[in-house]
Amino acid sequence: MNYLTNKQGFLGIENKFNFKEKAVVVPFGLEKTVSYGGGTRNGPKEIIKASHQVELFDEDLNCEPYKKIGIKTLRPFVIKKNMNKALEQISKINEFLLKKNIFPMVLGGEHSITPGCIKPFVKRFDKVYLLHFDAHADLRQSYNGNKFSHASAIRRCLDYKNINVISFGIRNISKNETTYLNKNKKRINIFWAKDKHKWNLNVFKRLIKNKNVYITFDVDGFDSSLMPATGTPEPGGLFWDETLKIIKIASKYAKIIGADVNELSPIKGFQSYNFLAAKLVYKILSYKFVNFKL
């Protein structure tokens, strides 16, 4: 695998700091099925660029987590034009990393990457719980005639029989999706955005305790006032502190085995949204690898 130099890669760490990587950031700006705003192909490079401004010291964890993790960044590469081949491409990259016991952090691109990202995980583990942050349920069988649409990402993940889904922030779902949801309630748990004030996170803790959890984070899960730089922004979503609380619970009580952060569509001249995504990535990695108290 070809890596960027530490200084070019995620966080822009000085090259004098040498480490054995535990995590690899994989830029995978796939953009083929966006249905409203575009630009997700530029998400990975802007997240990496913004990450150079993220403070390396974490006041919550009282350390510089990158020194305990070891993070390297894969050098950008050409993504296959055919959707099936592109999904197989990211699957093989994650499989390679898993065989080396390295944590893959994939930066999308659109949400349609996730079924490819998780393929090696569902082969390795008997059961995988998908911790899904999103404004949309993404449970459509197809959208605009495409079964691999970003609007079908979670449905395609559920094609794997050993996948269960726990979703946070959902506030946009079609009638057909609710029919599928009602038939699969044993495999899908949704913490609806409209019910934020009465979420019982102890229920969430029981669902994921001692389980293998893969995080897929569509940035439109954030409220649109916080994250408008995405193709399908929605009001009524998640805010920073409540999002981190969920990730911390998952990191404390489950085994986080991989992650992707997707659907950032950078807006020229507005760096704060890129920075938000970059800090989210660093937080996920930090909570995964650094011990902390809730």
- One-letter amino acid for residue 30 of the chain: L
CB 14 within 8 A of CB 25: no
Report the C-alpha gap between 152 and 95 in whole angstroms.
23
Report the Cα–Cα distance between both ends of the chain, in Å, rounded. 37
CB 116 within 8 A of CB 87: yes
Averaged over 168-196, what is the pLDDT? 97
Report the C-alpha gap between 79 and 105 in whole angstroms.
17
Q: Which domains does the chain have, with CATH numbers?
A: 10-289 (3.40.800.10)
pLDDT tens figures, 183-239: 999 999 999 999 999 999 999 999 999 999 999 999 999 999 999 999 999 999 999
- Residue listed under structure tokens 């950031």: 25
Report the C-alpha gap between 274 and 58 in whole angstroms.
19
Instruction: Give pTM, 2 decimals.
Output: 0.96
pLDDT tens figures, 18-30: 778 899 999 999 9
pLDDT tens figures, 53-71: 999 999 999 999 999 999 9
129 by Cβ neighbours in 10 Å (0-12 / 13-18 / 19+) ranks as buried
